[in-house]
């Protein structure tokens, strides 16, 4: 087999984790243990948009494609990591500048650097957001997904979710709250955004990782 | 990229699914929707050993290695699918007969055919189980995991979980409740058993899939 390095791009789901403001927190309960039962088991509960996760079109669009209609091949593909750290806005001009990268990738990962603030108030502030036109231009490429190491492609107090809506109309999956993207800039890799298989239409936490060819 | 076919080996997590006898069932609740909130979200709860899932040594062994100490590379590797359909017991002799396959694989998948009974009473009956000696012999190979399309490597009413204990002592992950293994017999593939990243030590549902080289 070809030699590869695997980089985990996922935050841990735990009770103390960062959440989208107002979102229900995960609950993890020990329900059996070695002393009493002879085995250790837990019961875990979380919102379908917890931590590192994928939004399907059905999350925002009433007739949007549900996650249940995506196959595993839709969650895996050639990835490219684009540095947007320090930007306030990702606009149409920026997307046009990246067109050569975007034309030959399936998952566009935007490295904002905000994962360094995961778990602090700063995580919810001053992250780069996408204009409607930038999202429309992204829709002209053959992308399976647009991903970022920040909480949202829209402003934290957005009422219209315009970047979400525009990307999801193009059936581009949105992947939020990645980490470790600093290890991917300038590299060739295959991106994986693997949800559990459930009957939930709107989205799911994922195990996100990159396979780098060495 | 090399052309591949991906086969999903996972059952769906849903309220009506098959469970290990006595296990708490998953609960899936809509907590916001398009009409009221402008977006669709769910809250999901399940036992850490629900559906297609992985057991880590910490599930049964008090000082066993926790799932949190396994990296993504531990969940991926060369797989082989061994037909055990029609057998009552997988014993030492059978494992010896498979030694050439086992010596060159990382995940040994045992095709019992029981996934055809998923969701019926028959799923809990008459599936092949591993003897202690078979499990010991499996421990002599360089296996990352032993997997099956049935509920357990031990009898359904086992009190000592001897196959579990033996495999887990060797730090071999146990993967239960796979499906679609009939599509893998005689094929070369890379097996993936991908859990979400949580702080739970004992196990996790996984998205299990095989990448076949075409």
Mean pLDDT within A103-125: 97
User: Which residues constitute the domain of residue A146?
Assistant: 4-19+47-213
Confidence of residue A2 (pLDDT cuts 50, 70, 90): low
Strand positions, DSSP E, chain B: 4-8, 27-32, 41-47, 53-55, 76-83, 89-90, 107-111, 129-130, 145-148, 173-176, 189-195, 203-213
CB hemisphere CA count around A165 (13 angstroms): 13
- pTM exceeds cut of 0.95: yes
In a domain, A193, yes or no: yes
Q: Cα distance from B195 to chain A (closest Cα, Å)?
A: 7
Q: Does A52 touch chain B (CB under 8 A)?
A: yes
pLDDT over threshold 80, residue A1: no
pLDDT < 70: residue spans in chain B: 1-2
ipTM of the modeled complex: 0.96
Residue (of A158, A179, A203) closest to A116 by Cα position: A179
Tokens of A8: 């985990």
Give domain status of residue A38, yes or no: no
CB proximity B132 to A under 8 Å: no
pLDDT at B2: 61
Contact B112, B151 (CB under 8 A): no
Whether A124 is covered by a domain: the verdict is: yes
**With contacts defined as CB-CB under 8 Å, which chain B residues touch A198?**
12-14, 28, 44
A86 lies in a domain? yes
pLDDT at A156: 96
Residue B213 contacts A where some CB pair is shorter than 8 Å: no
Residue A213: per-residue pLDDT: 82
Q: What is the pLDDT of residue A23?
A: 87
Question: Is A9 within a domain?
Answer: yes
* pLDDT at B78 (0 to 100): 98
Q: B19 and B46 in contact (C-beta within 8 Å)?
A: no
Has residue A26 been placed in a domain? no
Q: How far is CA A73 from the centre of its chain?
A: 16
Q: What is the DSSP string of B63-95?
A: TPPPGGG--GGGGEEEEEEEE-TT-SEE-HHHH
Residue A188 in any domain: the answer is: yes
pLDDT value of residue A60: 97
Average pLDDT, rounded, for chain A: 96
Q: What is the CATH number of the domain that holds A204?
A: 3.50.30.50
A138-194 residue pLDDT tens: 999 999 999 999 999 999 999 999 999 999 999 999 999 999 999 999 999 999 999
B49 at the A interface (CB within 8 A)?
A: yes
Choose the mutation target among A168, A179, A196, A200 for the interface with B, i.e. most B CBs under 10 Å.
A196
- The whole-chain average pLDDT of chain B stands at 96
Count the domains in chain B: 1
A28 assigned to some structural domain? no
């Amino acid at each position: 087999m070809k030699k590869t390095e695997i980089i985990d791009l996922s935050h841990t789901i735990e009770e103390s984790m960062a959440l989208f403001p107002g979102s229900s927190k995960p609950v993890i309960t020990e329900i059996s243990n070695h002393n009493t039962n002879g085995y250790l088991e837990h019961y875990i509960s979380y919102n379908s948009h917890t931590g590192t996760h994928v939004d399907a079109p059905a999350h925002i669009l009433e007739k949007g494609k549900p996650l249940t209609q995506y196959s595993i091949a839709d969650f895996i593909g050639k990835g490219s990591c684009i540095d947007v750290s320090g930007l306030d806005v990702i606009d149409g001009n920026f997307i046009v500048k990246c067109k050569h990268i975007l034309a030959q990738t399936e998952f566009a990962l935007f490295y904002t650097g905000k994962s360094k603030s995961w778990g602090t108030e700063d995580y919810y502030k001053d992250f780069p957001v996408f204009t409607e036109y930038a999202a429309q231009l992204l829709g002209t490429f053959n992308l399976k997904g647009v991903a970022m190491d920040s909480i949202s492609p829209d402003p934290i107090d957005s009422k219209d979710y315009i970047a979400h809506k525009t990307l999801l109309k193009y059936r581009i999956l949105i992947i939020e709250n990645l980490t470790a993207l600093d290890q991917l800039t300038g590299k060739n890799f295959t991106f994986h955004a693997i949800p559990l298989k459930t009957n939930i239409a709107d989205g799911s936490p994922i195990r996100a990782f990159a396979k780098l060819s060495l």
